[in-house]
Amino acid sequence: MRPPVTPFSWERVAIYFCLSAFLVFFLSPLYVMLMTSFKSLDEIRESNLLLPPQSWFFGGWVKAWDQACVGLSCNGVKPHFLATFAITIPGLILAVLVGALNGYALTQWKFRGSDLLLGGLLMGCFMPFQLYLIPIAITLRELGIFGTSFGLILLHTVYGVPLTTLLFRNYFVTLPPELMKAAVIDGAGFFRIFFYIILPMSPSIIMVAVILIFTGIYNDFIFALTFGEVGKQPVMAALNNIVNSTYGVKEHNVNMAATLLTALPTLFIYLVAGKFFIRGLTSGAVKG
């Protein structure tokens, strides 16, 4: 049996044309960066940016990985990846865990001032980074962790908790309260209910929180540049130093390769877990 033939529609043509135009518009910078990273400096100066390389040159990628200069250190972006993940993974785990506990407490355990506390946390989601720089610098200095990796982990954890609390609270509201009541009757306590009932029912919203917090910490530039440990700065601060450090000739192929290398982890996360991200958003993450 033949499938039904879709009737011709100018509206459908217009929709696909607009989608194609937007696709080209947003992907064209990525295309230019990719083609430039595989060109030699002579070809970059002599050829059109939109043309693919006549001969593929991988020296820009090699230099960006382990030879490009970040300040006075010429070890590329490789060591800064390790420093970045040493900050991102602990900050991610702490922010998601504390946010999930807060969301559960604000949903199932009402107390005086809980709505006021939730409002304060919501304000924390939308306050710009720049307002916190001086208070954070003073606090980290007094704690003796200014310019350390532990200071950045603590900082990203505190800044990520309001967002994760909002996500988990709005998701936990949609869960049937009868399950928690039945668990309480059976003698389960706060943490037993949380770890054995709530979390197993929340994989989609956990994935949403993981993606948002991971990309937020990994792509951070202001905190990394301001409070990062000297010589062990996260990769975004290192990328800024590579692009802005010029010795003689501006190496555009190295700069483009370094930029693409730093973008690969977040791109991989969204490609692998994108469907879980959309599923989590549509199953309660944006409900209130």
pLDDT at 79 over 80: yes
The pLDDT assigned to 214 comes to: 93
- Does residue 224 contact residue 234 with C-beta atoms inside 8 Å? yes
% the chain with pLDDT above 70: 91
Residue 7, classified by CB atoms within 10 Å of its CB into exposed (0-12), middle (13-18) or buried (19+), is: exposed
- Sequence-distant (≥ 6) Cβ neighbours of residue 151 within 8 angstroms: 140, 143, 145, 227
The pLDDT assigned to 286 comes to: 45
- Does residue 63 contact residue 254 with C-beta atoms inside 8 Å? yes
**What's the whole-number mean pLDDT along residues 181-203?**
85
What are the sequence ranges of the domains in the chain?
Answer: 10-57, 78-285
**What's the whole-number mean pLDDT along residues 270-283?**
69
The dihedral sign for the CA sequence 32, 35, 37, 40: negative
Q: State the Cα angle at 147 between 142 and 151, rounded to 5°.
A: 70
The pLDDT assigned to 256 comes to: 92
DSSP track, the chain: -PPPPPPP-HHHHHHHHHHHHHHHHHHHHHHHHHHHHTS-HHHHHHS-TTSPPSS---HHHHHHHHTS-BTTB-STTHHHHHHHHHHHHHHHHHHHHHHHHHHHHHHHS--TTHHHHHHHHHHHHHS-GGGGHHHHHHHHHHHT-TTSHHHHHHHHHHHHHHHHHHHHHHHHTTS-HHHHHHHHHTT--HHHHIIIIIGGG-HHHHHHHHHHHHHHHHT--HHHHHHPPTT---HHHHHHHHHH--SSS--HHHHHHHHHHHHHHHHHHHHHHHHHHHHHIIIIIT--
pLDDT at 273 over 50: yes
**What's the whole-number mean pLDDT along residues 56-67?**
90
For 78-285, give the CATH class: mainly alpha
pLDDT at 47 over 90: no
The pLDDT assigned to 285 comes to: 44
The pLDDT assigned to 9 comes to: 79
% the chain with pLDDT above 90: 24
Please give the Cα distance from 224 to 76 (Å, whole number): 17
**What's the whole-number mean pLDDT along residues 107-136?**
78
Q: Give the pLDDT confidence of 7-31 residue by residue, as tens digits.
A: 667 888 899 999 999 999 989 989 9
pLDDT at 277 over 80: no
